Structure 1
């Protein structure tokens, strides 16, 4: 699914996925007009893995979002990501790249870390120290690139059940409540 149309920035499916997030925000605001306050829309974004990477790509260009949380975000730092084996969709991109190095002309347009450098709204990022599906260096690259206020909530592991997973999920839900509650009321 992450290779469809990768030959061109105009056809790469990840761009359409980002556009779908903007459409979802429009639909939500149409369906729940009370989300629009005197200061404008007050949406919060929460995305995990693919949704985390897509959020990083979408948020810089949509001022309807007041804050966001990205958990184990993918698509961070493609030049590094292409060197790191993984079990996730990134491995399909790595394998395709070996035979089609020209996709490096397209991937920079869809780099979550590059996009994060344009995010100015408050962000909570929950990268993992270990993740077989999304290499942690790319996750931390997204956090490190953020241009605005940011909070870090480090997880032991992503995409991997481990002792303490349930506790970490509860702690992240608590952090979410505090983070979004303080910004969206």
Structure 2
């Protein structure tokens, strides 16, 4: 663990949102294109999985899976989940936990990813200027072209897509994800006001400057290596990243939240997770795993999260 992480729980971010943060996102989410969500059953056992396509940012098609218990005839609470960095939606049988618990579950693909650890099917049509390998520096010189503008807009649309399915109760939708998925969870919680709950685990995309300063592994060093070459661009890069910081989304989120943080996490240093946790505007709970790295609580925390969601959906 980096030496500067000796007391991460006391860390409070110095990051400040741009003055036009809210208007930037209001403009980004003013979609001209219809959602056009389509659901095709592709796999059925005790759980039925639908191949989902919906129009994301710029009207570009985004893939997902929607899993529901087979034989369901009534509307179900729904968990919308976002994958970790480099991963995609995978295969239909890889994400069955929430459907096995009796919920509907939409698992969103992430554009351009899905070749790092789980396969994906959604291209990124806006690849943009030269970048450091990975996704952190794609279009990073301007908020309007930055990669995560498109991904976050897709994530908001994923919630909209889940809500139009006839087996989903649109008033009972929660969001969750691990790492990058945790950062996207915070973004959606800050942009969609009527969610039932949010559960970000070991969240990435929080307090970018702090992450660059202390993370010895994972995606934050992509930014460091980019700036080591482009020495004159640091201010411009961090000005862009401020529009995508999970800390600022957390400050706008009001649904009940369950965070998890791992104190030996070198990819998403615990102080960055605490930064978002302390900034979170709604009711919040925290599970801390002192002896784990970026894997976090894994199956142990799955059980904690399921109890949290059970409570949230029953309110």
Q: TM-score, normalised by structure 1?
A: 0.87
1:92-112 deviation line (CA, Å, top 9, x unaligned) = 012223422120111111111
Q: Is the 8 A contact 2:177 2:200 kept in 1?
A: yes
1:80-124 deviation line (CA, Å, top 9, x unaligned) = 222113211111012223422120111111111121111111000
TM-align CA RMSD:
1.7
1:31-79 deviation line (CA, Å, top 9, x unaligned) = 245413xxxx210111110011111122111124211100010121122
**1:12 has 2:146 as partner:** yes
Q: TM-score, normalised by structure 2?
A: 0.53
Aligned to 2:161: 27
- Do the aligned partners of residues 8 and 127 (structure 1) sit closer, same or farther apart at CA in structure 2, a change above 3 Å counting? same
Aligned to 1:61: 191
Q: Select the structure that is richer in strand.
A: 2
1:86, 1:56 → 2: CA distance? 23
Matched residue of 2:160: which SS?
Answer: helix
1:19, 1:33 → 2: CA distance? 24
**1:128 has 2:262 as partner:** yes
**Structure 1: which 5+ runs fail to align?**
none
**1:119 has 2:253 as partner:** yes
**1:89 has 2:224 as partner:** no
Q: Is the 8 A contact 2:174 2:197 kept in 1?
A: yes
Aligned to 1:151: 285
Q: Is the 8 A contact 1:4 1:13 kept in 2?
A: yes
**1:78 has 2:208 as partner:** yes
Matched residue of 1:35: which SS?
Answer: strand
2:226, 2:218 → 1: CA distance? 13
User: Which of 160, 169, 178 lines up with 2:307 in the alignment?
Assistant: 178
1:35, 1:48 → 2: CA distance? 24
Q: Is the 8 A contact 1:72 1:128 kept in 2?
A: yes
Give the number of the structure whose alpha-carbon radius of gyration is greater.
2
1:32, 1:142 → 2: CA distance? 34
Structure 1 consecutive aligned stretches of length 4 or more whose deviation exceeds 6 Å: none
**Structure 2: which 5+ runs fail to align?**
1-134
Count of residues in Structure 1 that have an aligned counterpart in Structure 2: 175
Matched residue of 1:159: which SS?
Answer: coil
Deviation at 1:169, TM superposition (A): 2.8
Matched residue of 1:42: which SS?
Answer: strand
Deviation at 1:178, TM superposition (A): 1.4
Q: Is the 8 A contact 1:72 1:158 kept in 2?
A: no
Q: More relative contact order in 1 or in 2 (CA 8 Å, sep 6+)?
A: 1
